[in-house]
A and B are shown apart, each in its own frame.
Chain A
Amino acid sequence: MQRRDIVLLVLIVVLAAVAIFVDLEIDHPQWVENLLFWQPEGARAIALRLGLDLQGGLQVLLAADVADDAAVSAEDMETARQIVENRVNALGLTEPLVQRQGERRIIVELPGIEDPALAIETIQGTALLEFVDTGGVYLEPGTVVSTTTGAPTSAPTDMGIPGLTPIGPVTQTTTTTGTVYQTLFTGAELEQVGSPYPNERNEYQIPFRLYENGTRIFDQFTTLHAPTSEQAVHYPLCIVLDKVVISCPGIASRIPNGQGVIKLGRSSYEEAYALYVQLHYGALPVPLRVETTDRVGPTLGEISVEQSIRAGIVGLSVVLLFMLIYYRLPGALADVALLLYAALNLAFYKLMPVTMTLPSIAGFLLSAGMAVDANILVFERMKEELRAGRSLRAAIESGFSRAWTSIRDSQISTIIVCIVLWLFGRNFGASMVQGFATTLFIGTVINIFTAVFATRTFVRLVFALASDWLASRRWLLGV
């Protein structure tokens, strides 16, 4: 027995222990989840992420609605993505995903959504910024209001989500008040919006300047409502975005030149910046059109999960049995390696995380079926060598070393296929194709470890411990 094999065995056991720990459906301690530095901070978790086809929901692929030869800048697309993300967040779903895809597309995934038509409307709609006279009433940020330009587009009862786009410091939204307030002017009057900056109390504010018409209205309004000796309370002027109150700063003095700041109260730079983006563009910087939608009923997802689990258990059990019966003792060792393989893959999906879809499960199962291929190559070699009269030890060693080129070649060609598929899927949001390619790829790489290193270590150790005993029981080797 060689020292190296023992070291490898210890390594394999440790890896297996880690993988099993990750795989277990338990609440993993927070400090462990915080170790996953590649996941975004604040949202680190050890959890299996299910794709839309497995949990139900809506996927929408949006594309810049411009001529094919017209240039769309990356900044514009990023801004559009941010705006869409803000709007999507307002829908209050558990794990929405908004990603840029290629140069002019944005993919939006809304798991568990119940009203897809409203969601699409929300995403595509243009944000409406209004400066509203509330008649002296101060409104909490997040309040949904009706103004003279109209009522909120979604009735709060629709989805239990009142506003469409609460952004900035708004964290909770309150239900609409019954009154219709007077809109002084809309975002169309905004000539310029400056980047947010903090004041001495670390409260962010966004400076702005109005066009002529807006300046006149603003002047009149502030002249009328500027604090006087009798009326010392600052009269509020509410800034409303898509019928959601962002802030209600009080008027401190007359503003004749159409310049002012929107005070955000306590807020982070990100929140202030998000509002700045909204103010700056009001609407999306590029119009977006819906290119594909994909909508899956939630129950259907559950059924698919059950079916996949059943298919996986049956398929893998048959493979395990086959290896055991056909290759006997080495087969049993390969089975251990295959179980390790499955545990490692699952752990990897949870840690990355890899989004699981039906094709990606198929990719995993297929890679598991193929994972034993490397073992088969080795074992067939071993049998040949044994039949040719070699000693057990020599047969094992040459089995592994001579099968290596074939194993390498076949893994390389699978990896090539995966890469081509992945690139093919990336272009137009065929997440199904990518899912399959991803799991097949991960499986192939992990397989090199389990099928070659793990199995070899197992085989060497077992044979080192029991070679005499085995020499008289060659049927155990399947010869």
Chain B
Amino acid sequence: MFNIVEKRRWYFIASGIVILAGIVVMILSVVRFGTLVRLSIDFTGGSRFVLRFTETADETAIRQVFDEQGFEEAIIQRLGAPENNTWQIRTKEAAPNQVEEILEALEAQVAPLDRLQMTFETVSPTIGGEVTRAAGAAVAVAALIILIFIWWSFRRVPHAFRYGAAAIIAMLHDILVAVGFYALMGFLRGWEIDALFLTAILTVSGFSVQDTIVVFDRIRENLPRYRGEPFERVVNRSILETIHRSLATQLNAIFVMVAIILFGGESIRPFITTMLVGMLSGTYSSIFIAVPLVVVWEKWSQRRALAQAAA
């Protein structure tokens, strides 16, 4: 029988490296942008333009227009391939009449705009603060509910708390991986967290726990069936029994997500990509983190029981 649990040290190290790398990126992000992950105007308030010019536009010309209109702090970024002529500009909150002035100035001084393909978004700073609070509350509530759910699922298993704790740790693992990935993309592609990012994180949390529960469920079922076997072997057996399901399910979700990433357009790409990374991490962590953790815990308590018996 292929032994997965035995090599647990390597999985812990691998995960540790990935998470550590993510944390390093987040620290760099704090130094560079002031926050762990770049925040979008959903949280900070402000305005965002996505403009498509019909002819080549250059950054200095765009910047000059925004400077003249009193938006010296504008962050200007190119989106997609250069031939798309698409630019994203983030500014402080712009009033509706200012927007019109900016657009007219851009058309006069930079290049003609395709107004049918532009987006403009503005969020007042007050609501930005409110979104941040609501997001915090949502994450807290979700974590609490998931905790209760795990406890309820495992209420009849001995050491239910261990399973719950292991599932939560695996979930935190996935969140850290996803956030670290996003922070990295913040550097590489200018990704900023918005309400959809939180949606991705909460969804990933749910699926991560769900995935873990499937394996734990099988352990719960197998424990009485293979009473004579050492715990580690029963656990390993359970993983091998469920691994097909985990991989097949994930594979289907991955097919769909890759299709959306490839064909589904620019605007939801960060959202789906984060979800994909989180899901992959979720499959990995349920098998290679959550379950080995339960084994480590079991061994540790056995050793302690032995030591006590000896003493």
A residues adjacent to B (C-beta < 8 A): 53, 56, 61, 63, 116-117, 120-121, 289-300, 303-304, 307-308, 310-312, 314-316, 318-319, 322-323, 326, 358-359, 361-362, 365-366, 368-370, 372-373, 376-377, 380, 384, 405-406, 409-410, 412-414, 416-417, 420-421, 423-425, 427-428, 430, 432-433, 436-437, 440
Contact = CB atoms under 8 A, between A and B. Distances in A.
Given A373-B249, A416-B146, A294 B210 contact: no
B117 A322 contact: no
6 contacts: A291-B123, A291-B126, A322-B252, A366-B203, A380-B242, A421-B199
Contact of B100 (A117, A359, A365, A416): A117
B79 interface: no
Q: Which 8 interchain pairs have the tightest Cβ spacing?
A: A315-B259, A417-B206, A369-B256, A424-B138, A299-B116, A311-B264, A315-B256, A311-B263
Nearest to A383: B244
Nearest to A61: B127
B145 A416 contact: yes
Nearest to B260: A311
A297 B118 contact: yes
B195 A409 contact: no
* Residue of B114, B207, B241 with highest tally of chain A CB at under 10 A: B207
B44 to A, nearest CB: 13
Contacts of B130: 427-428
A308 B265 contact: yes
A121 B96 CA distance: 9
Given A61-B127, A359-B196, A433-B198, A413 B138 contact: no
A376 B243 CA distance: 11
B214 A319 contact: no
Interface stretch (B22-30, B68-76, B180-188, B268-276): B268-276
A428 B210 CA distance: 29
Interface string B123-136: 11011001100110
Interface in B84-125: 96-97, 99-100, 114-124
Nearest to A357: B268
A427 B134 CA distance: 8
Contacts of B145: 416, 420
* Residue of A292, A308, A326, A358 with highest tally of chain B CB at under 10 A: A292
A294 B121 contact: yes
B213 interface: yes
A432 B127 contact: no
Contacts, number: 215
Given A116-B96, A365-B256, A421-B202, 5 more contacts: A311-B260, A315-B258, A377-B245, A409-B153, A417-B205
B267 A410 contact: no
A424 B134 contact: yes
B214 A299 contact: no
B210 A409 contact: yes
A334 B114 CA distance: 45
Contacts of A412: 149
B121 A416 contact: no
Contacts of B123: 291-292
B135 A424 contact: yes
Contacts of A373: 249, 252
B265 A358 contact: yes
B267 A53 contact: yes
Given A417-B206, A424-B135, A307 B121 contact: no
Given A61-B127, A290-B96, A366-B275, A417 B203 contact: yes
B61 interface: no
A117 B97 contact: yes
Interface in B164-213: 195-196, 198-199, 202-203, 205-207, 209-210, 213
B96 A413 contact: no
Contacts of B209: 413
Contacts of B249: 370, 372-373, 376-377
Contact of B206 (A61, A414, A430): A414
Given A300-B119, A315-B255, A359 B206 contact: no
B138 A423 contact: yes
B184 to A, nearest CB: 22
B217 A406 contact: yes
Nearest to B218: A406
Nearest to A302: B116
Interface in B203-255: 203, 205-207, 209-210, 213-214, 217, 241-242, 244-245, 248-249, 251-255
Contacts of A409: 153, 210, 213-214, 217
Contacts of A61: 127
B257 interface: yes
Contacts of A315: 255-260
B119 A296 contact: yes
B257 A369 contact: yes
Contact of A292 (B121, B153, B251, B267): B121
B277 interface: no
B115 to A, nearest CB: 6
Nearest to B116: A299
B1 interface: no
* Residue of B96, B117, B257 with highest tally of chain A CB at under 10 A: B96
A213 B303 CA distance: 95
B142 A359 contact: no
B17 interface: no
Given A311-B262, A427-B130, A319 B199 contact: no
B259 A358 contact: no
A318 B206 contact: no
B257 A380 contact: no
Interface string B8-30: 00000000000000000000000
A297 B116 contact: yes
Contacts of A436: 196, 199, 203
Contacts of B142: 416-417, 420
A204 to B, nearest CB: 37
Given A359-B268, A432-B196, A410 B210 contact: yes
B259 A314 contact: yes
B296 interface: no
A318 B209 CA distance: 26
A109 B116 CA distance: 17
Contacts of A310: 263-264
B264 A308 contact: yes
A428 B131 contact: yes
B122 A292 contact: yes
Nearest to A371: B252
A376 B209 CA distance: 18
A362 B217 contact: no
A405 B117 contact: no
B149 A413 contact: yes
Nearest to B272: A362
Nearest to A412: B149
Given A322-B255, A359-B271, A430-B131, A293 B96 contact: yes
Contact of B127 (A291, A303, A416, A424): A291
B305 interface: no
